[in-house]
Amino acid sequence: PQALFALVERWVPPARVPQRLQGKGYSVDRLALAIQTGELVNHYQPKVLVSSGEMVGVETLVRWRHPLDGMVYPDQFIGMAEAHGLIDALTQAVVTQALKDSAAWALQGLKCKVAINVSMDNLGTLDFPEQVTSAAAAAGVAPQSIVLEVTESQLMKDLRAPLEILTRLRLRRFKLSIDDFGTGHSSLAQLRDVPFDELKIDQSFVHGAHHNETLRAIFYASLRLAKELGMEVVAEGVEDADDWRFLQQTGCDLAQGYFIARPMAAEAVLAWRDGWQRRWVQEGLGAPEG
């Protein structure tokens, strides 16, 4: 069964995903069992500096290795976990695994930040900051190297309780990131009130921006806003060489996307980094001189 799961993900055309994988067919009990028995597995996608190509972080993306259906993607089960009270257990499992992998990479000489996607419902749990803090301490990973990503659309529903939790996480030195920016209608006041360290421009404004004036306008406005507020900026969805070349002209700090790397198993990350360093030179991915 191990062979069913490649170390590095390949693109599956959506039309070929079987009907039963399209959000139907999994019961809450089955998902709960999957969380308990370790069928959920973390994949990781590198975040690299646009200037030097250095891999400075990875984003954790959870997958469900279903024994019969193969790899099931988060869009098929995160919503269900949120709706049925399983998201705290799910996040706990994801965090534990991510910190364990991060500690193992550090032993192999790879020091980078690890980002984890957090659901709004996690931020309604008062002892969430306590839980992540003890998980970090147990794994020996510093809070400063842990980034918690919250999507803009979830964030803007109701900010009062989450704001308290986010502030407490920040006081404990965790890094906070606002994900899928541009798709969630945040107001400027909300950005003022939450102390985010990083802003991720949604992939829909990144891929293809080089030949689309509207996308470019939104991209630059988001970049400028984030920079003025002192945040680091990540462009998501860098899918091809044109996207990459465009980014190099923008002053955007970090990039993430299929052009750089697909999400991969923890065991594949070190080898990927070596390959990327070679590719950087061979394909001349650095910015042109002068």
Query: Shortest approach of ligand C2E to residue 112 CB, angstroms?
Result: 17
Asked if residue 259 lies in contact with residue 239, where contact means CB atoms within 8 angstroms, the answer is: yes
Stretch that binds ligand C2E, among 64-72, 164-172, 221-229, 257-265 (CB under 6 A): 257-265
* CA–CA gap between residue 220 and residue 241 (Å, rounded): 19
Please say which residue, 14 or 288, places its beta carbon nearer to ligand C2E. 14
Look at residue 62 and give the partner it binds from ligand C2E, Mg ion, none, a contact being a CB closer than 5 to 8 Å depending on partner kind: ligand C2E
What the block records as the tokens of 77 is 């089960």
Asked if residue 39 lies in contact with residue 69, where contact means CB atoms within 8 angstroms, the answer is: no
Residue 20: strand, helix, or coil: helix
* CA–CA gap between residue 93 and residue 64 (Å, rounded): 12
Look at residue 145 and give the partner it binds from ligand C2E, Mg ion, none, a contact being a CB closer than 5 to 8 Å depending on partner kind: none
Strands 55-66 and 232-235: unpaired
Look at residue 220 and give the partner it binds from ligand C2E, Mg ion, none, a contact being a CB closer than 5 to 8 Å depending on partner kind: none
* CA–CA gap between residue 268 and residue 207 (Å, rounded): 25
Look at residue 102 and give the partner it binds from Mg ion, ligand C2E, none, a contact being a CB closer than 5 to 8 Å depending on partner kind: none
Query: Shortest approach of ligand C2E to residue 166 CB, angstroms?
Result: 15
Of 35, 48, 58, 78, the one binding ligand C2E (CB under 6 A) is 78
Look at residue 5 and give the partner it binds from Mg ion, ligand C2E, none, a contact being a CB closer than 5 to 8 Å depending on partner kind: none
* CA–CA gap between residue 167 and residue 154 (Å, rounded): 17
Which residues of the chain form contacts with Mg ion (CB under 5 A)?
Answer: 117, 149, 179-180, 236
Please say which residue, 108 or 151, places its beta carbon nearer to ligand C2E. 151
Please say which residue, 108 or 135, places its beta carbon nearer to ligand C2E. 135
Of 257, 264, 266, 285, the one binding ligand C2E (CB under 6 A) is 257
- In degrees rounded to 5, what are phi and psi of residue 282? -60, -40
Asked if residue 91 lies in contact with residue 120, where contact means CB atoms within 8 angstroms, the answer is: no
